[in-house]
Structure 1
């Protein structure tokens, strides 16, 4: 089928504000807005998080992950958990819930594995981006985590709207990668109030030109995606580089020993982050 008209139709729907948010999603967006206020306190954030049990569970899990709890001092209450991870990570988690729930409504059973794989890919990219930001590219690790959690938001929305456009998810995804992702992603990221710096990094990731060694947030995101052990199900395309060539190029320009050392040392941190992000 000709997919571009379908992408354009979905994009117009986003631009017109016709996005139906669940109650849980609205709570997550309310939390996002509250965290942006300069006078927001941990007590208020904890009350808002407590209203969404799934988010509350993930906040505590993130606070107890190796990334935020390297000494194994377990916490079980929201107030302490939020204090430990900070408002930036809490904002990322709240928006991750929004992204994940864009495709959590009435879906055909055949689409559930697609959504699950896309989220596992998202979680791995976010976790790897945070590690790479700290160890290689010297950008804000929490911004890298946020960018990783939001970089597939257009894909979740595409899956959610695919029932209105039969055949949209059939065949390869060349059209999606060339034009569809940006057509849906730009207005969706704006509608969700994603900061400009994160939007720019995600658009850089859509273009797919990884600079090595990575020097910015966009490169960090692309490198994390290239290293993710879980591929995006929306990247089934001849445009993707062969894995062996990709890995060889990365190791050549970063250093095979350095890259292997970083990935080995951070394996536990990445695994614990992915587990904490298992919405």
Structure 2
């Protein structure tokens, strides 16, 4: 099949809002959008988080983790948990939920295996980006983690649409790596209202422009991608098989 034509169709579908998300992912997207608004207050953020049980549970759980609960006082409700974590961390958790839910949309067993592998890769990149931001590039660690979470969101969308385009996921992913990843990824990131600095960082990752010494958010993402112990299953060329 003509994979390049299929990618253009995917981009068109994204641009006109033709995306199917589970309810939990839609609520998480609303949380992301609200937290991007400078006028959003803590009460509003907490109310939105409470509307999605999976996200609320994750927020409270992280607020009680060793990293955020240095006082030893356990949090039992969402508003205090959001206050303790801060908007950037909650936004990253919401993005992770959206991405994970997209992974769950994949249809066939083969697609689900690819999605599971891609999610494993994504979590490694996000964690490494957070560490590299603190120790190497000195950009905001939470933003770096967020960039790591969303950098493969176009790939998850590709897998969720595999059944609509027979043959799209067959063989290697040469066409995806050469152009589809950038075209579809940009469209999905824009649709999700991902902040512009993060979109620019993912663009730098798509283009592969790593600067030495590394000092930008894009550099952080590329370094994390290179160091990830699990390779993206969508970065497999025909000649690798």
Structures share fold, TM-score greater than 0.5: yes
| CA contact 1:103–1:115 (8 Å) conserved in 2 | yes
Aligned 1:127-138 pairs, distance under 5 A: 127-138=127-138
SS of the residue 1:234 aligns to: coil
| CA contact 1:174–1:239 (8 Å) conserved in 2 | no
Aligned 1:200-279 pairs, distance under 5 A: 200-237=200-237
| CA contact 2:111–2:162 (8 Å) conserved in 1 | no
Seen in structure 2, the aligned counterparts of structure 1 residues 231 and 61 have a Cα distance that, compared at 3 Å, is farther
Shift of 1:108: 1.5
After superposing the two structures, state which structure 1 stretch, 42-51 or 157-166, moved more.
42-51
Shift of 1:229: 1.6
How many angstroms apart in 1 are the aligned matches of 2:232 and 2:220?
17
Shift of 1:130: 1.0
The aligned length equals 240
Report the counterpart of residue 165 of structure 1 in structure 2.
165
- What value does the CA root-mean-square deviation take over the aligned residues? 2.2
Q: Unpaired runs of 5+ in structure 1?
A: 241-279
SS of the residue 2:234 aligns to: helix
Report the counterpart of residue 81 of structure 1 in structure 2.
81
After superposing the two structures, state which structure 1 stretch, 212-221 or 32-41, moved more.
32-41
Seen in structure 2, the aligned counterparts of structure 1 residues 135 and 70 have a Cα distance that, compared at 3 Å, is farther
Report the counterpart of residue 182 of structure 1 in structure 2.
182
Report the counterpart of residue 250 of structure 1 in structure 2.
none
SS of the residue 1:193 aligns to: coil
Report the counterpart of residue 147 of structure 1 in structure 2.
147
SS of the residue 1:119 aligns to: helix
Shift of 1:46: 2.1
1:7 aligns with 2:30: no
Aligned 1:78-117 pairs, distance under 5 A: 78-105=78-105, 107-117=107-117
Which whole-Å deviations, capped at 9, do the CAs of 1:154-209 have from their partners, x for residues lacking one? 00000001111111112111211110001101111111111111111001111223
Report the counterpart of residue 49 of structure 1 in structure 2.
49
| CA contact 1:7–1:183 (8 Å) conserved in 2 | yes
Q: Unpaired runs of 5+ in structure 2?
A: none
- TM norm structure 1: 0.79
